[in-house]
Structure 1
Amino acid sequence: MDVSEIVEWLFSSRSTGDFGRRSILRFSDPDDYDQFLQALQVNGPLSKKLEEIRPLEMIQALSIPSSYRSLPASLCGKASLEEDIPVSVGALPQGSLVTDKGIPWGVKHIQAPQAWSRTTGYRVKVGVIDTGVDFGHPDLRHSLDRGINLLHRMALPQDDNGHGTHISGTIAAANELQGMIGVAPRSMIYPVKAFDYNGTAFVSDIILGIEWCIRNQMDVVNMSFGMKTRSKSLLNAVNYAYRSGVLIVASSGNDGRIGDIDYPARYNQTIAVGATNQLSRIAKFTNRSGLIDIYAPGDRIVSAWLKGKHREMSGTSMATSHVTGAIALLLALKPGLSPAQIKVIIKNSAKPLKNSKAPRTAGELNVMRMIRAAEQL
């Protein structure tokens, strides 16, 4: 492998006018990946440009600036190239700020309160790859660990969008008297800020987030976002997490599509979540297909928001956070369960949906049924 040729190719791209775009260069052989990293590090004159190259160690890849159409000769057969796709968090336009207190309807609907005498998710580590979290929110102050800010490594993963705070509130808020209470109020949220204030990130940011969650031994990871395009790099990261015992819960998307759902929910190694409304019917906005594993409340969900407030929001993002919270309850009760076992329990214990004509349609999340199914293993 001619490393000098590759380095020259790598830094010649700035003249293409693709500012703001990125690619993922994935190596087939770990030795080639290591050799390439070492070669980059000894290129002193290029050190400033090296800051824009992000190693993705878990999948033996690099996220590199600009987009490329072909590999240099030295890399043919040894590496592959794909676009580092932009991803957006998944929620419909924001609802209004509210003053509701207590237990939100979705938390009651899945029968989480009935389980709290037995499990509250105590000490289960939940990674939330999102826009960060409002560290000053009174409903979350007992439920947060530091996490990581992948956009600014030295800073707290402080939420500047609101989406991540809303997701975290549904999972683990613990302020029933003055605020709200989430599905698993004694679980611990580790916010992983991969998305900016607009709610956008690159696939490479997600991969780095998954890598952090595995390294820091998260029990379950919430990924309330999606994209239409398949990414082999993201699939490799999801597979790695699954084999490492870390289950990823992902939202199906909000386009109302039938027979098609977003990635990464579309990968078999995740739990794919669709949304229901208060009548236990599939919400009109949710994507749906036979690939959905479970439905959960996602319509008009009240949860935590920025500056200590609360907001009503709808989307499969909101449904996903209910499922993540339920898994935290399950893992506190039965900590040895594998991702495959959890997926079977969730699917087999689902409550049949109302007015569901298709025999293959997944059911709706129910915590008490889930716990009973787990006890029969």
Structure 2
Amino acid sequence: MGGSNLDKSAILRLLYSALTHTASAAKRRIVRFRQKSDYERFLHEWSMIDKSLTEASDAIRHLPFIQGFSLRVPGELLRTHAHDGIWIENDPLISVHHSTSTYKPVTREKGIPWGVQEIKAPIAWSMTTGHRIKIGVIDTGVDFSHPDLKQSLGRGINLLNRGTLPHDDNGHGTHIAGTIAAANQVHGMIGVAPRSTVYPVKAFDHNGSAFVSDIVLGIDWCVRNHMDIVNMSFGMKTRSKSLLTAVTNAYNAGVIIVASSGNDGKRKSIDYPARYPQTIAVGATNRLRRIAPFSNRGMYIDVYAPGDKIISAWLRGKYNEMSGTSMATSHVSGAIALLLAMRPGLSPSDIKAVVKRSMLPLRGTKAPRTTGELDVMRMLQAGER
């Protein structure tokens, strides 16, 4: 390709508009450069400004993983300087996946929750407990003081407040972490892979909302810190080139991404990023081994797992019952950790093939062969082949 498409003044206009526009005046967008030279030039100009203005780093988020930036771009700039040299797309809000209808606190959860039992994880524990497998949970953080999680957590990162621990101010992330890796045999609950390690990546605020750019930063952190698995219990309806690029980069780096399909009860579509082929898309089942009414379903789903009335860890050392494809996703992440601890060489495509080969046909489905429910013992056997 020839020389740079963007002159310096265009780059500076973008930068200064991001710094001068308040939240109300302009939408947050992700800007990516078609040419590396333009990206590097923007990076250079930004670093010069960043040194002189402390608020610059708040206004402009650098997304090196996808060679881009998230910043506020006003509509008039979009119209007047629509350059060939850049891709601009919205940086929308994305939310965690849970159906709040069955949100109810539980006093105590002892032993093995029904979902962990259902997928036959306890039978596998004599062979594998997920030891040394690292799972990045991009979510609302985690309750670091929860007695059932203390042994199971790495430090992780707080993308919303750098330098502080990714403490959970919502509950969703703690619930996910509990299903994956809780380990308190005497007094508390046990998760699917009790000796795996969860690294909480706090990208979501107390409302369970995050920008796509936060997710991109979270995926970047997981790849750089050598996570084996990334749990993504969130989704959105619209596609995002930036999110796809980040997911593809992670997949190519050998990271397994498990994503929840969404809770709209739809038959023909599921949320992104679960809909991308580079992820393992999870739907939810209930105790009857049927697809839960809230779960999305259909051809995009790779596997179903328990997601209805799941009890797991909660804030302030408590427990909570929740339903959603989020809850199903954490069972799948834990199961993959059990398999990877036994077969560390398996690639993301190998893992997906094993998961699909080893599913148990569901009850009440017309075409039982196409998709089924997670079964850890069948997975471990299929992984041996």
TM-score range (shorter-chain normalised) is over 0.9
Q: Quick check: 2:135–2:198 contact (8 Å CA) kept in 1?
A: yes
Distance of aligned partners of 1:72 and 1:7 in 2 relative to their CA distance in 1, 3 Å threshold:
farther
CA deviation after TM superposition for structure 1 residue 100, in Å? 2.6
**SS class of match (1:101):** coil
* Distance across 2 between alignment mates of 1:42 and 1:156: 30
Corresponding residue of 2:40:
34
**Does structure 2 conserve the Cα–Cα contact (< 8 Å) formed by 1:6 and 1:75?**
no
Give how far 1:30 is off. 2.0
Aligned with 1:89 (options 96, 101, 125): 96
Distance 1:358 1:69, change over 3 A: farther
Identify the residue that residue 285 of structure 1 maps to in structure 2.
Answer: 294
**1:67 Cα deviation after fit:** 5.0
CA distance in 1, matches of 2:194, 2:274: 25
Q: What RMSD, in angstroms, separates the aligned Cα atoms of the two structures?
A: 1.8
C-alpha distance after superposition, 1:91-114 (max 9, x if no partner): 011521112311000000000000
Q: Percent identity between the aligned chains?
A: 61
- Matching residue within 32, 55, 68 for 1:48: 55
Is 2:191 aligned against 1:182? yes
Tell me how far apart the structure 1 counterparts of residues 23 and 109 of structure 2 sit (CA, whole Å). Answer: 50
**Residue 31 (structure 1) shift:** 2.2
Name structure 1 gaps, 5 residues minimum: none
The amino acid across from 2:270 in the alignment is I
Structure 1 residue 68: deviation in Å? Answer: 4.0
How far the C-alpha of 1:48 sits from its partner, in A, is 2.7
1:166-221 Cα distance to aligned partner (Å, 9 max, x none): 00000000012211000000000100000000100000000000000000000000
Residue 258 of structure 1 deviates from its aligned partner by 1.1
3-state secondary structure, aligned to 1:273: strand
CA distance in 2, matches of 1:168, 1:71: 41
Preserved CA contact (<8 Å) 2:23 2:72: no
Q: 2:13 aligns with which of 8, 19, 23?
A: 8
Query: Which structure 2 residues correspond to residues 267-346 of structure 1 after superposition, within 5 A?
Result: 267-346=276-355
Residue matched to 2:176: 167
SS at match of 2:351: helix
Q: Comparing 159-168 with 92-101, which one deviates more in the overlay?
A: 92-101
Map of 1:131 onto structure 2: 140
> Residues 123-159 of structure 1: CA distance to partner in whole angstroms, max 9, x if unpaired?
1000000000000000000000100000011100000
Aligned to 2:3: none
Partner Cα separation in structure 2 for residue 316 and residue 105 of structure 1: 16
Q: String of CA shifts for 1:247-270, please: whole Å, max 9, x gaps.
A: 110000001111010000000000
- Deviations for 1:220-259, whole angstroms, at most 9, x for unmatched residues? 0000000000001000000000000001100000011110
C-alpha change, 1:16 and 1:161, in structure 2 (3 Å) is closer
Maintained 8 Å contact 2:17/2:72:
no
Q: Which residue of 1 aligns with 2:260?
A: 251
Deviations along 1:271-329, one digit per CA (max 9) or x if unpaired, are 00000000110000001120100000000000000000000000000000000000000
Aligned counterparts, 1:64-79, within 5 A: 64-66=71-73, 68=75, 71=78, 76-79=83-86
One-letter identity of the residue aligned with 1:225: F
Which letter does structure 1 place at the counterpart of 2:105? L
Deviates more, 1:8-17 or 1:307-316: 8-17
After TM superposition, the structure 1 stretch with the greater mean CA deviation from structure 2, 261-270 or 40-49, is: 40-49
Equivalence for 1:59: 66
- CA–CA distance in 2 between the matches of 1:360 and 1:174? 35
Q: Which moved more, 1:196-205 or 1:10-19?
A: 10-19
Q: What SS class does the counterpart of residue 328 from structure 1 fall into? A: helix
Normalised TM-score (structure 1): 0.96
For residues 142-161 of structure 1, the aligned pairs below 5 Å read 142-161=151-170
1:41-66 C-alpha deviation (Å, 9 max, x unpaired): 22365553343101110111100025
Q: CA deviation at 1:360?
A: 6.3
Conserved 8 A contact 2:14-2:73: no
TM-score, L = length of structure 2: 0.94
| Matched letter for residue 64 of structure 2 | E
Tell me how many residue pairs correspond in the alignment.
Answer: 376
Gaps spanning 5+ residues in structure 2: where?
1-5
Check conservation: 1:103, 1:176, Cα contact below 8 A. Answer: no
Residues 361 and 368 in structure 2, CA contact (< 8 A), matched pair in contact too? no
